[in-house]
Structure 1
Amino acid sequence: MSLDAWSAVLDRLEADIALAVSGGFPPSWEPPRDAGPLPVALEARARQVLDAQADAMDLLARLKNDAGSQLGALAAVPPGPGSSRPLLLDVRG
């Protein structure tokens, strides 16, 4: 695979990371079958993409955990007596 083709692969990975971190859903990705070895000239960039992926996974895991905690707190609020209206939850005390 050429330098340009590998650059395009890294571009796609970077775009997918940005999309995921901003709340979007990246399309499914399959690695190129004919990739061959990564050109030495792109090694530093590939490491940056790998680090960005790890950071994004950590961020998304924290967001998922926070959302789960919030959903758990909401589930703990008892429903009002016979009311279908939302209840106010004072979280400041």
Structure 2
Amino acid sequence: MSPDTWSAILDGFERDIALAVSGGIVPPWTPPMDAGPLPAALADRARRVLDAQADAVAILKRARHDAGTQLGAIDAVPSGAALARPLLLDVRG
């Protein structure tokens, strides 16, 4: 395949990375069956894309962890019948 094909593949990876990090839904990826070997001229760009993917995974893992922590805090707040009575009593006022 031509370098243009690989450039388009790398462009797609970069779009998907940006979409994922911005909170968008990334469409499923289907590997191209006829891309052939990566041209040597695009090796540095491919490494940068790979590094960006690793950074995106780390960002998304942190976001998932933070969301889980927040959900845990929300779950710890009493609800239902417990809210029928005051949770705090002002003894100074």
Q: What residue identity is the alignment partner of 1:29?
A: W
The answer on 1:50 being equivalent to 2:50 is: yes
Equivalent residue, structure 2, for 1:90: none
Q: Which runs of 5+ in 2 are unaligned?
A: 86-93
Q: Secondary structure at the match of 1:44?
A: helix
- CA displacement at 1:8 relative to structure 2: 0.1
Query: What is the distance in 2 between the residues matched to 1:2 and 1:29?
Result: 20
Counterparts of 1:1-93 in structure 2 under 5 Å?
A: 1-79=1-79, 80-81=83-84
Which has the larger share of helix? 2
- CA displacement at 1:74 relative to structure 2: 0.3
Give the length in aligned residue pairs: 82
Q: What residue identity is the alignment partner of 1:68?
A: G
Runs of 4+ in 1 over 6 A off after TM superposition: none
Q: Secondary structure at the match of 1:66?
A: helix
Equivalent residue, structure 2, for 1:91: none
The alignment's TM-score, normalised by the length of structure 1, stands at: 0.85
**Largest Rg, 1 or 2:** 2
Q: Which runs of 5+ in 1 are unaligned?
A: 83-93
Query: What is the distance in 1 between the residues matched to 2:73 and 2:8?
Result: 44
Q: Percent identity?
A: 65
The alignment's C-alpha RMSD in Å is 1.0
The alignment's TM-score, normalised by the length of structure 2, stands at: 0.85
Query: What is the distance in 1 between the residues matched to 2:47 and 2:31?
Result: 16
